[in-house]
Amino acid sequence: MNNVRPLARRLFPAAFGLAAALVLAGCAPATTAPESGNDAGTPVAGGTLVYASGDAEPSCLDPHVGGNYPQALVSSQYLETLYTKDAEGKLIPWLAEDSTVSQDGLTRTLKIREGIKFTDGTALDAAAVKANFEHLLDPKTASSTGYLALGKIDSMKALDAATLELKLKSPDNSLLESFSMPWVAIESPTALKRSQEENCAAPVGTGPFKVESWKKQDAVNLVRNEDYVQPVATDGHEGAAYLDGITWRFIPEAATRYAALQAGEVQVIDNAQPDTIAAAIKLQTIKHLDAPRPGASNRIELNSSKAPFNDSKVREAFIHAVNVDAGIDSLFFGTAPRSYSPLSSVEPLAYSAEPLFAYDPAKAGELLDSAGWTERDSEGYRTKDGKRLSLVFPVSTSQSIPAEQSLFEQLQATAKESGIEIKINLLDLSSWYGELFKNDYNLVSAPYTKVGPSVLSILFHSDSTIPAPSGYFANLSQVKDPALDQLLDAAGSTADEAERKDKYAQAQKLVLEGHYLLPLYDQQNHFLYSEKLKNVGATTAVATPTFFDTWLAK
């Protein structure tokens, strides 16, 4: 077995691109990303890392339940996945040892790595993995990301202690990518038998840390797993983590988080604001980790199921009426390069079409005239049959940073110049979901993180209009195009990598040329940390930092 290492990213100014990988049967050599040319020095054992998150505190520490990014961040410290990605971006087995697929693509056989135990003493085996998949697919679990990722599994059977056979409803070439995500991480089957409340409070995994306690509205306390053994040898150290533990705090106010970092009260903060990042990188005492998420780009989706966006001319007009570039340039200080793709820039199969998204008010006006929006009311907004061209835009304050909300306001201002009204409604997460459920929106910005281009099927396939058990809605642009469905189905099932690439490119082209979305930038994932925290940079396949090899300098 060659040495491998979970995905690591170079620090600011850029993260390197991921290599394409469809299916890998074994481990591959990897390189370690250095700390921006900074010698990390000799490792020191001991100490507690204090992490301050700006995300809303999860209601459950089990990422099977729901499946949002804050859960992925914290659970990546105590749960592990069947697959991961190495420093070159290639899929490699982790808790799994190998995987094979039948010629017809309908039977996937997993070999589970032997000799690994959960922190409650339960052995990892095929039955344990089966119990996890059943937990994810059980509607009572209320999973979203994990449920959708495993949706093609029809039945499961543990052939022996180390072999799990999966029968699929249709071929799924993205399954190994799905197995690399924290929302499909493997938990102790013994612990899963507890009530959901108990399991939410302290999930049990195989990772380098374990949950000791959770004081809600304050912090999750993690302690080192003294018996931890990496499933695969890496270029890092062997044995238990260097840190004694991690205190995972929740500090919603950005300025307060940064002040705590400057004061040495915490060593890592997430959700750093663009102006803060720009200032911090000039300091010797603070370092920056830029780790864009895989899956979809941050984007605004246009609801094509109702007026006025059921008219493609109006969708296209809106896209040319808003000045995205000017807003990003003024608000993000170079931390968020513009995207012209439905997919993140870290996805090798991302297709980009910049010419479709030029700011062109004259063209917007021509399109609106052609669509019949020729009159103006007393406030300068366009009207048709006496009705104002008005767009409802609910925004979740827990999923959108202040800089992004300011960007939306700038788009609102430039759209007004073309006679388009945008009503921005800032809502808590529950109310935001309610607006989606009622189909009470014309515009929506909904982040979605998933490893691999199969996220396109979740976002744009006709079948994705049915919500996951958690209530999460996909296909928010409500595209219903048989040609697109066929492309996505073919891309997701083919065993030919060249065909996969071509079909996904065609699908993205169709979505972009249909004016169903306005790409903005990669999903932002910026972390600032103290220079006393060493060997930072290793991340999971979904760009959550891991701290197994990290230590605190004395």
CB 101 within 8 A of CB 93: no
Asked, colleague to colleague, whether 48-291+525-552 and 298-521 share their fold, the answer is no
DSSP reduced 3-state for 391 = strand
Among 296, 340, 327, which residue's Cα sits nearest to residue 542?
296
* Class of domain 298-521 as given by CATH: alpha beta
Pairing mode of beta strands 387-388, 375-376:
unpaired
Backbone φ, ψ for residue 276 (5° rounding): -65, -40
Strand partners, 422: 391
Give the tokens for residue 118: 């959960």
Q: What pLDDT is attached to residue 552?
A: 97
Among 61, 52, 3, which residue's Cα sits nearest to residue 32?
3
Among 19, 6, 165, which residue's Cα sits nearest to residue 77?
6
Fold of 48-291+525-552: D-Maltodextrin-Binding Protein; domain 2 (3.40.190)
- Got the DSSP string for 148-178? HHTTTEEEEEEEETTEEEEEESS--TTHHHH
Pairing mode of beta strands 298-302, 517-521:
antiparallel
Give the tokens for residue 394: 């609910």
Query: What's the pLDDT tens digit per position in 452-490?
Result: 999 999 999 998 865 666 566 678 999 999 999 999 999
Give the tokens for residue 279: 């200032």
In Å, how far are 207, 294, 417 from 414, measured between CA atoms? 49, 30, 5
Q: What pLDDT is attached to residue 447?
A: 85
Q: What pLDDT is attached to residue 7?
A: 58
- Got the DSSP string for 326-369? HHHHHHSTTSS-B--SSB-TTSTT----GGGG---HHHHHHHHH
Handedness of CA 404, 407, 412, 418 (dihedral sign): negative
What Rg value do the Cα atoms of the chain yield, rounded?
Answer: 23
Residue ranges per structural domain of the chain: 48-291+525-552, 298-521
Q: What pLDDT is attached to residue 89?
A: 86
Q: What pLDDT is attached to residue 554?
A: 84
- For the chain, residues with pLDDT lower than 70 are 1-39, 465-473
| Start-to-end C-alpha separation, the chain | 35
Which pTM was predicted?
0.89
Pairing mode of beta strands 526-530, 286-290:
antiparallel
- Helix H or strand E segment including 435: helix 429-437
Q: What pLDDT is attached to residue 38?
A: 44
Handedness of CA 508, 511, 515, 520 (dihedral sign): negative
Among 318, 288, 281, 290, which residue's Cα sits nearest to residue 302?
318
Backbone φ, ψ for residue 423 (5° rounding): -100, 105
Tell me how far the alpha carbon of residue 162 is from its chain's centroid.
30
Tell me the three-class secondary structure of 65-110, residue by residue: CECCHHHHHHHCCCCECCEEECCCCCEEECCEEEEEECCCCCEEEE
Give the tokens for residue 14: 């850029």
Tell me, what DSSP letter sits at residue 452?
A: S
